[in-house]
Amino acid sequence: MVIQAKNVVKRYKEVTALDYFGFEANQGEIVGLLGPNGSGKTTFIHCALSLLTFDKGEIKLFGRQMTPEAYDIKRKIGVVPQEVSVFDNLNVQENIDYFCGLYIDDVKTRRQRVEEALEFTELTKYRKFLPKKLSGGLKRRLNIACGIAHKPELIFLDEPTVAVDAQSRNFILEGIRNLNREGATIIYTTHYLEEAENLCKKIIIMDKGRNIAEGSPEELKERICTGENIEIAFQAEPDGLLEKLEQLPEIHMVQPYADGYLLQFTGRGNNLGRLLNFIEKEDLIYKHFYIRQPSLNDVFLELTGKELRE
């Protein structure tokens, strides 16, 4: 077991940031840590790294309690923070060398690891560039290179793709998969739920400092009350159509959507067949319809609510 967190409590006076929170991560897993702003994701990471003390509970990394002096454990850990954290007066290569040097003393080994990190993030041709000369996507890649150059066994990635273009995001995500293929265990936080759905084998959904749901994307989707969703628009709408749609079998919710309706079903059966029978019976004509299965975004919103968070 790489991470074991049990009943972790962290309070800031009247605010409870972590409320008996816990989960486990096995060797070689990519675990998504998801939650609204203020749910406690970054607080947990800081507690796990012993950057913050916590009030109750237990966090073990590699089977041992993490402490500020546990340098042998820290050498096994890489951290890529949410904010780009590099030195503006050092070029790309110097930045990677500095952070790698925090863990590796041998000059020859460190030089090799720096070159491997440059190649892994495809920053070789930018090695002499200062960070201010890099685009947002390149800065993110530099941030990752600084965090993984020493080849850690456990990597915390805190929103590594925020505010980058689609090409940079795809490059970073494939790099994460490659790190995992090489054996790294990865804890991944993101607000891009489609990333987590495609990347993570296990997902923890946090809210108000608690672990409110845990499992694979497929397992989580099985737990919510909505099945498939059908978006449909009609050429003409008779009076009372909304009320009639709400009486369809296995219907969970009907809401106006674009120029038609979004129908959310509870069941996974022949919902389309029942809808088409209804259309024929009511002598309706549809313009178009679209079917989609529930997504991780549907799970997230059902579990954490749709109201805006600060």
**pLDDT tens digits, one per residue of 42-58:** 999 999 999 999 999 99
**Where in the chain does DSSP place strands (E)?**
3-12, 15-25, 30-34, 56-61, 64-65, 77-80, 154-158, 185-189, 202-207, 210-215, 229-234, 251-257, 260-265, 286-292
pTM for the full model? 0.84
CA dist 192 and 206 (Å) reads 15
Cβ(127)–Cβ(111) below 8 Å: no
Domain 3-222: top CATH class: alpha beta
C-alpha dihedral (162, 193, 301, 232), degrees to nearest 10:
110
Closest CA to 228 of 168, 268, 288, 173: 268
Residues β-bridged to residue 156? 79, 187
Strand bridging mode 15-25 / 3-12? antiparallel
The long-range contacts involving 102-110, CB below 8 angstroms and separated by at least 24 positions, are 102/150, 103/74, 103/75, 103/150, 104/150
Q: For residues 79 and 82, what is the distance between their CA atoms, to the nearest angstrom?
A: 10
Question: What is the pLDDT, as a whole number, of residue 193?
Answer: 93
CA–CA distance, 208 with 213 (Å, rounded to integer): 13
Q: What residue ranges of the chain have pLDDT lower than 50?
A: none
Query: How far apart (Å, rounded) are the C-alpha atoms in residues 102 and 120?
Result: 20
Contacting residues for 218 by C-beta, under 8 A, at least 6 apart = none
CA 208 – CA 15 distance, rounded (Å): 10
Contact 106, 129 (CB under 8 A): no
- Strands of 138-209, DSSP E: 154-158, 185-189, 202-207
Q: What are phi and psi of 186, to 5 degrees?
A: -125, 130
Residues for the chain: how many in total? 310
Domain ranges for the chain, please list them: 3-222, 225-293
Which token pair is 27? 């060797």
CA dihedral 26, 202, 53, 304 (to 10 degrees): -160
CA–CA distance, 65 with 186 (Å, rounded to integer): 19
**How many Cβ atoms sit within 10 Å of the Cβ of residue 150?**
23
Residue pair 56/244 in contact (Cβ under 8 Å)? The answer is: no
CATH topology of domain 225-293: Alpha-Beta Plaits (3.30.70)
* C-alpha span between 16 and 293 (Å, rounded): 36
Q: DSSP label at 156?
A: E
The per-residue pLDDT for 306 is: 66
Q: How far is CA 24 from the centre of its chain?
A: 16
φ/ψ (deg, to 5) at 274 = -65, -40
